[in-house]
């Protein structure tokens, strides 16, 4: 892989990520929604990471997560730590394998997401940061996992790996 292709793919990854972070800020009324919406940024980062573990730089992931922390008024650094550790676990797991199956990918990512959300919520609890009710957090995790499955299925059915 050439240096230019590495820079180009990371730039495109960053561009799409930044657009996703900014799109989440779209004002759609102040009414609290009955249903929490899934985390598109997580799905985007991890779908690309599973497919291009050697291309996507850890610095790009840090930049996107910190930008989301800043603009979405999340606790600074907490989600970024969780995402980076999850990304590194995923990278180490993928290094040991040549190819990853659909079911394996879904189980792996869902497990990782449950773990990182739990770690964040426990940290919030001990550092006295208010958070959602348990039911809302569970539906948030489930919706994000379902969104991930839907996107992965679409990508697989279309028969193409995500390539820039």
Partner 1 sequence: MALEQDAAWKAVRRFFLIVIVLSLALLFALWRTDNQRLERFRYAIVDEIVPSTNFLLRPVTIAYQMIADFNSYTKLYSQNQDIKRELQKMTGWKEAALQLEQKNAQLSILNKLKLNSTINWITGQVVADSGSPFNQSALLNIGSREGVKDGSAAMGGLGLVGRVSGVGEKICRVILLTDVSSSIPVLIQKTGQSGLVIGDNSFNPKLSFLESSRAVSAGMRVVTSGQGGVLPPNLLVGRISEDSTGTLRVILAADLKELNYLRVLVKIDKNNLTSPGGLIVN
Q: Which long-range contacts (C-beta less than 8 Å, at least 24 apart) are formed by 153-158?
A: 153/102, 155/47, 156/102
The correct pick among 88, 104, 107, 153 for binding partner 1 (CB under 8 A) is 88
If you search the block for the tokens 């009710």, which residue do you land on? 133
Position 114 contacts partner 1 (CB under 8 A): no
Q: Which is nearer to partner 1, 49 or 68 (CB)?
A: 68
Q: Which stretch binds partner 1 (CB under 8 A): 18-26, 48-56, 103-111, 155-163?
A: 18-26
Least Cβ distance, residue 47 to partner 1 (angstroms): 20
Position 58 contacts partner 1 (CB under 8 A): yes
Tokens encoding 6 = 């590495």
Packing angle between helix 78-95 and helix 102-126, nearest 10 degrees?
Answer: 150
Residues 6+ apart with CB under 8 A from 130: 124
Position 131 contacts partner 1 (CB under 8 A): yes
Q: Which long-range contacts (C-beta less than 8 Å, at least 24 apart) are formed by 106-110?
A: 106/145, 106/148, 106/149, 106/152, 109/46, 109/50, 109/145, 109/148, 110/145, 110/148
Distance, CA of 43 to CA of 163 (rounded, Å): 16
Position 28 contacts partner 1 (CB under 8 A): yes
Q: Which stretch binds partner 1 (CB under 8 A): 3-11, 104-112, 126-134, 149-157?
A: 126-134
Position 146 contacts partner 1 (CB under 8 A): no
Least Cβ distance, residue 69 to partner 1 (angstroms): 9
Least Cβ distance, residue 159 to partner 1 (angstroms): 30
Stretch (H or E) spanning 109: helix 102-126
Give the number of residues in contact with partner 1, rule: CB under 8 A.
42
What are the residues binding partner 1 (CB under 8 A)?
Answer: 19, 21-34, 36-37, 58, 62, 68, 70-78, 80-81, 84-85, 88, 127, 129-133, 136, 140
């Amino acid at each position: 892989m050439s240096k230019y292709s590495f820079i180009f793919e990371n730039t495109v990854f960053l561009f799409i990520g930044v657009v996703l972070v900014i799109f989440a800020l779209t004002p759609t009324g102040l009414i609290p929604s009955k249903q929490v919406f899934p985390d598109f940024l997580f799905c985007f980062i991890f779908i690309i990471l599973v497919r291009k573990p050697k291309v996507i730089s850890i610095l790009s992931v840090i930049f996107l997560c910190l930008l989301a922390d800043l603009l979405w008024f999340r606790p600074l650094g907490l989600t970024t730590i969780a995402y980076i550790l999850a990304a590194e676990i995923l990278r180490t797991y993928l290094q040991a394998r040549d190819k990853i199956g659909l079911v394996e990918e879904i189980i792996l990512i869902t497990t990782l997401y449950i773990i990182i959300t739990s770690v964040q919520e426990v940290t919030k609890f001990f550092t006295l940061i208010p958070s959602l009710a348990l039911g809302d957090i569970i539906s948030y995790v489930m919706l994000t996992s379902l969104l991930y499955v839907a996107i992965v299925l679409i990508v697989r059915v279309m028969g193409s790996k995500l390539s820039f």
